[in-house]
Structure 1
Amino acid sequence: MFCYQCEQTAQGKGCVGPVGVCGKNEDLAALQDLLIFGLKGIAAYAYHARELGAHDPEVDAFMHEALFTTLTNVDFDLDHHLQMVLKAGEMNLKIMELLDKAHTEKFGNPVPTKVYTGIKKGPAILVTGHDLLDLYELLKQTEGTGINVYTHGEMLPAHAYPELKKFPHLVGNYGTAWQNQKKEFEEFPGVILATTNCVLIPKDSYKDRMFTCGVAHLPGVKHIANRDFSEVIKKALELPPAEEKEGGYITTGFHHTAVLSLADTIIEGVKSGKIKHFFLIGGCDGAKTTRNYYNEIADKVPKDSIILTLACGKYRFIHKDFGEIEGTGIPRLLDIGQCNNSYSAVKIALALAEAFKVGVNDLPLSLILSWFEQKAVAILLSLLYLGVKNIRIGPTAPAFLTPNLLAILNEKFGLKLITTPDEDLKAILG
């Protein structure tokens, strides 16, 4: 590739030639990467909203403008790149709010719900991904067939929506986070349907009983068009029925409407000293052993603190019993939902700040996030746009961020990498 700014073949680190900025300024290249990854996350939320009949012209227009700025020889201004990154955070906040509204208008406000984690006897379909509309259509088409439908991964919060809860054959949640799919799908005694991202190339052992729909596609796997799940249903009925396998229960559904209905109790708990701190521990999971940090810090959070969690990172600890805040009846662990429910976390934080008449950064609230994919970047940009400071992120920084850019984000926002659970808790709690 030829870089028209360098006037030479683009081979240097960070130089992306005719599709971006000149590699002589790695910080500009890093900001462009940050912007592009954020835009991918925004696009995912916008896609889900559009499937439910909602869209925002302002968000669409921004995406066009932002992508245009990443073309060759368009924008070499570092400050303007940073402004565009924060603008992406603002647009992501708008689209997350729109998606939340679209979800609740279609499926109702989520309510705290205990979800079975075992297997019931009978034909079975497992649904993974994020698209609640796909699950809804499948549930309608499987009524009266004798098929039991299970959720996997980010689909867990579906059990909390009233319009999805009403289907008695939505019987439980099987498995954990995306990185465990190959083992969990191989062991699942039925058909698997992948609806969106966070899907892995399947093993041959279960490829013939796996299907995709929507934006998800896999080589050698049948793709379902127009939400006609007749082939999925046919395959599920052809397979040997699942045998009973005992499981436990996990609780989900702490949407902002559910949490804020407890606002008076929470406020009184803080004022009385029964609730000392709030921790948001969640985000995108992965397989590296360094991610054990998140379950370890959750275990070590003081018993007078509430843990908010969301996205697939919660599977590090959601199966554990954290009990309640003494004397309040409030569970110490509150699962807000999918990464698609991230707006609820923002809403809860802003509502608490308003209730206590302080800024968000003055709340006894600490954000400890795990980074992996593009929606996580978009959410982080929204938090930075809101001026939220002292966020801890890990287990490592995104590879495209330069040391200088990390230093800028640390100086402006206090963004920092996680260290160890003990060190971080000591710094947070003083």
Structure 2
Amino acid sequence: MSNIFCFQCQEVAGGKGCTIRGICGKTDKVANLQDLMIYTLKGIAILQEKGLEKGIRFSKANHFMLNGLFMTITNANFDDTVFVEKIKEAIILREEVKKELIDQGVTLGELCDAATFEVKSDSEIFAKADAIEVGVLATENEDVRSLRELIIYGLKGMAAYAEHALNLGKEDEEIYDFIVKALASTLNDALSVDDLVALTLETGKFGVDTMAMLDVANTGAYGNPEITEVNIGVRSNPAILISGHDLKDLEELLEQTKDTGVDVYTHGEMLPAHYYPFFKKYSNFVGNYGNAWWKQNEEFESFNGPILFTTNCIIPPRESYADRVYTTGATGYPGFKYIKDREDGKAKDFSEIIAYAKKLPAPKEIEKGKIVGGFAHAQVFALADKVVEAVKSGAIKKFFVMAGCDGRMKSRNYYTEFAEKLPKDTVILTAGCAKYRYNKLNLGDISGIPRVLDAGQCNDSYSLAVIALKLKEVFELNDINELPIAYNIAWYEQKAVIVLLALLYLGVKNIHLGPTLPAFLSPNVAKVLVENFGIAGIGTVDEDLKMFLG
């Protein structure tokens, strides 16, 4: 018997699954508690589904569901004590939902273990987390297991994006209802493989809806991203480094640091915050420090000031900077200080991290220069005439969507080499931290259009889909796949999974996914994706360029 079984990310052990501890750094305890968290959410979802049949919704349960799913994303939360307390909350919430349904005359009937199990102590929680029925391998049929996990991982990504939108006051009952339905369905043994394939595509549909909702939330609060040069050098002031994806956290941090003498730099997926007009009013919003998440050990050490994680992308820290790291929201790591969530409509209190920053030296400069971004759909539409003319004249022969995630594997050097070897009449469309493999290369421009167009965070892959649909309309094509666009996408975690499912729902075919195909795809499920959607892996750069350029 292995201690755990987890295969949700790209870097799984042996390309098959982590069985002792996570490659990400999570312990067997945390891995199993995450499985129990999901199992308990499925039990709540089964009860919520019974409520939906009678038109009864549970707002508190919906919000809890988003956060509970988000906590289990790769590199989000490593703290077993947090998961124990969260599971206790989940069970209390489950019983509250059950009581409310009974009080409203809903017949519950026979319920499954996920909706009824009891634990009376922390030790019983750990024991339940180790139970076979809780984990991934509880589903014996390999294809059913593969599809159930594909759906769950899509839901995790969807929940992350929905929580960001919720923090900005946007939510959608239909999205909540679907998450409830999909979670409950993963415990329904009556569903066939065909049923689960259909549910997988429906997950993609609601992935599109969720990313569209977040796009409206972000642009409504902060304006449409615009072409922006972002400084990658440093100033001489003490500073805070903010990482992750949550723009509301950034807004509140900037508001509380203005006029304090403390600068704020972005890291990783927070880089695209610089593209929003709203944030440009803060004179202490200085620039971006460092690269993708996996280089944080060396870069956090040299930053000197405190670091704030608003979402996933944490890796086990070096002792030299561990006492300078703060987490908030769904994130956590043993020993890191935690900044509590908002209460009664008030902003989070960042006074502790600001006070600490003032005591520390300024960041050490690790590079100089600027990088350009801000090419979300509104900005590209503003350049539409220029782009269309470049395509019609042959100045732009092809677009390459190279969105997604970065990671530690040396095989990811493929994406740097691929970008360097692309012909000079091609343009890269990107979003997510995969861009750090090439966004600092001098790839030039085509008639003033940069050859790397960065739309933003991983959720802004939605912008790339919107751009493709607009080009389809402009060129009066019948099929999005007739466009001169190729998809060579890197993936790492579950937010990339929901982006992939969203693209499949929109009808995009022949997506190449690397550096390896997901371990959670069984041979038969992979075959369905290959035959129906043309999903493929990557080869060598030279082979793939020859294939893509035909």
The corresponding residue for 1:158 is 273
Shift of 1:219: 0.9
Whether contact under 8 Å (2:323, 2:336) holds in the other structure is yes
Shift of 1:283: 0.6
The corresponding residue for 1:186 is 301
Query: Letter of the aligned partner of 2:516 in structure 1?
Result: T
Distance 1:27 1:330, change over 3 A: same
- 1:332 to 2:451 alignment: yes
Query: Letter of the aligned partner of 1:57 in structure 2?
Result: E
- Inter-partner Cα distance in structure 2 for 1:123 and 1:150: 11
- 1:39 to 2:155 alignment: yes
- Inter-partner Cα distance in structure 2 for 1:126 and 1:375: 23
Whether contact under 8 Å (1:118, 1:172) holds in the other structure is yes
- Inter-partner Cα distance in structure 1 for 2:403 and 2:363: 32
Tell me which of 37, 49, 56 is aligned to 2:172.
56
The corresponding residue for 1:398 is 518
After superposition, the C-alpha distances for 1:200-231 in whole angstroms (9 at most, x for unaligned) are 22222112221111211121111112310000
- Inter-partner Cα distance in structure 1 for 2:475 and 2:398: 14
Query: Letter of the aligned partner of 2:491 in structure 1?
Result: W
Tell me which of 383, 388, 404 is aligned to 2:503.
383
- Inter-partner Cα distance in structure 2 for 1:155 and 1:18: 34
Tell me which of 354, 357, 363 is aligned to 2:476.
357
- 1:310 to 2:431 alignment: yes
Tell me which of 378, 392, 397 is aligned to 1:271.
392
The corresponding residue for 1:10 is none
SS at match of 1:408: helix
Shift of 1:392: 0.2
Whether contact under 8 Å (1:156, 1:252) holds in the other structure is no
- Inter-partner Cα distance in structure 1 for 2:224 and 2:540: 37
Query: Letter of the aligned partner of 2:338 in structure 1?
Result: H
After superposition, the C-alpha distances for 1:391-412 in whole angstroms (9 at most, x for unaligned) are 0001111111112211110100
Tell me which of 448, 461, 465 is aligned to 1:346.
465
- Inter-partner Cα distance in structure 1 for 2:287 and 2:158: 30
Gaps of 5+ in 2: 2-111, 113-131, 343-347
Which aligned pairs between 1:93-172 and structure 2 lie closer than 5 A?
93-172=208-287
Whether contact under 8 Å (2:256, 2:350) holds in the other structure is yes
The corresponding residue for 2:535 is 415
Please give the root-mean-square deviation of Cα atoms over the aligned residues, in Å: 1.8
The corresponding residue for 1:283 is 404
SS at match of 2:434: helix
- Inter-partner Cα distance in structure 2 for 1:31 and 1:244: 46
Structure with the higher fraction of residues in strand conformation: 1
Query: Letter of the aligned partner of 2:310 in structure 1?
Result: T
Query: Letter of the aligned partner of 2:159 in structure 1?
Result: A
Distance 1:94 1:22, change over 3 A: same
SS at match of 1:251: strand
Query: Letter of the aligned partner of 1:146 in structure 2?
Result: G
Query: Letter of the aligned partner of 2:422 in structure 1?
Result: V
Structure with the higher fraction of residues in helix conformation: 2
- Inter-partner Cα distance in structure 2 for 1:171 and 1:302: 34
The corresponding residue for 2:352 is 231
- Inter-partner Cα distance in structure 1 for 2:422 and 2:470: 23
SS at match of 2:388: helix
The corresponding residue for 2:383 is 262
Gaps of 5+ in 1: 5-15
Query: Letter of the aligned partner of 2:316 in structure 1?
Result: I
- 1:371 to 2:491 alignment: yes
Q: TM-score, normalised by structure 1?
A: 0.93
- Inter-partner Cα distance in structure 2 for 1:123 and 1:52: 29
Identity percentage of aligned residues: 52
Whether contact under 8 Å (1:21, 1:29) holds in the other structure is yes
Query: Letter of the aligned partner of 2:250 in structure 1?
Result: L
Whether contact under 8 Å (1:21, 1:28) holds in the other structure is no
Shift of 1:76: 3.6
SS at match of 1:149: strand
- 1:247 to 2:363 alignment: no
